[in-house]
Amino acid sequence: MIKIFWVEDQFHWIDRFKSILEKANFSIDSSPTEEQSEIPKKDNQVDIYRFEESARHEINQSIKNRAFKLPDIIILDANMNGDNDAGLSLSKLINKVWSQVPIIFLSEHSGTSTEEKVFENTQTRDFIAKHQENIEKVLCWRIKALLRATSMIQSSRHDKDNSLSSDKQIKQGELTIDLVTWNVYWYGEKLMNPKNIQRPLAPTPRKILRYLVEASPHPVSTLQMEEKLNLDRFNYASYRQHIKTLRNSFQNTSSVKQLSFSELCAKGEGIVTFGDDGAYCWKQIKS
């Protein structure tokens, strides 16, 4: 279910699209799980505003209301109640207040100077002509495509935020490697030597973990790791032993999680064995 913020002043367009927008499947998950498929689908929430003033009031009120749930997408008409710039004016406000919410114009003024002004002066993502063949399907296709693109952008930003966060630390999900002290933290708990929990991890396993995380999601072979560590005597047997030490160290933390670290590795997350060529890789833990 998604939330749609729709500003449209003409009843016949509201009557034509409202039920379609409520019932449409805008899910961007192309392969839902069996459990998800069994959950009864709820109608989309379509909030309709017939006047620019009422829409503007709702947007401004949302700033004061912390419980307000942002819409997933906004549909605007360009010309409302005789004002050719009503949609343009609203879109400028939305860009300031709800900058992350994508805007689609659904208008009878496609291909005119109105569309040109909208794209030149706002962050509008699409402008759809009302009078076209299969407009109902076209609108739903465009909304779904825009939701998918927005999701990809947000996912990319999240991955970037959770990767290298500064020159003093590496952070990915709940894993943090302090590059000044070389301490490693998992869910905020410092990793210790599994053979002596009073001592921190030895330097080599910590460096190996760093190089695995930096290379993620790509694997690091024994030869590649030997070059990074600049060690004279490093082979697959020693690589495997250091990986075992790391896994045991993660396993010994007291952080409350649904699965132990060894179970996460077994299902392809955390420190994962890659192929038969003596390689390992770090796969980010799924929340």
Q: How far apart are CA 129 and CA 71, in angstroms?
A: 22
Strand partners, 107: 129
User: Does the pLDDT at position 6 exceed 90?
Assistant: yes
For residue 55, count other CB atoms closer than 10 A to its CB.
25
* 182-220 core/surface letters (b: 16 or more CB in 10 A; e: else): ebbbbeeeebbbbeeeeebbeebbbbbbbbbbbbbeebb
Strand partners, 41: none
DSSP 168-236: TEEEETTEEEETTT--EEETTEEPEETTEEEEEPPHHHHHHHHHHHHHTTS-EEHHHHHHHHT-SS--H
What's the predicted TM-score (pTM) here? 0.55
Nearest to 282 by CA among 162, 152, 180, 128: 162
Q: How far apart are CA 214 and CA 246, in angstroms?
A: 16
Say which residues have a Cβ less than 8 Å from residue 177's Cβ, sequence separation at least 6. 169, 170, 171, 183, 184, 185, 206, 209, 210, 213
Q: Which residue has the higher pLDDT, 161 or 226?
A: 226
What pLDDT, on the 0 to 100 scale, is given for residue 159? 56
pLDDT tens digits for 182-240?
889 988 888 999 998 888 888 999 999 999 998 888 888 888 898 888 877 888 899 99
What pLDDT, on the 0 to 100 scale, is given for residue 67? 81
**Whole-Å CA distances, 125 to 20, 21, 73, 79:** 21, 19, 11, 18
Least confident of 1-5, 112-116, 252-256: 252-256
Q: How far apart are CA 193 and CA 213, in angstroms?
A: 19
User: Does the pLDDT at position 34 exceed 80?
Assistant: no
Nearest to 209 by CA among 189, 179, 231: 179
Tell me 83's DSSP state.
B
User: Does the pLDDT at position 164 exceed 50?
Assistant: no
Q: How far apart are CA 8 and CA 22, in angstroms?
A: 16
What pLDDT, on the 0 to 100 scale, is given for residue 277? 63
Q: Two tokens at 62?
A: 């949302």
- Domains (ranges, CATH) in the chain? 3-161 (3.40.50.2300), 164-283 (1.10.10.10)
User: Does the pLDDT at position 15 exceed 50?
Assistant: yes
What pLDDT, on the 0 to 100 scale, is given for residue 258? 57
Q: Which residue has the higher pLDDT, 131 or 287?
A: 131
pLDDT tens digits for 244-271?
999 999 988 865 555 688 888 888 889 9
- As a whole-number percent, the residues of the chain with pLDDT over 70 amount to 88
194 prior amide bond cis, ω within 30:
no
Residue with tokens 């549909």: 75
Q: Two tokens at 115?
A: 């569309």
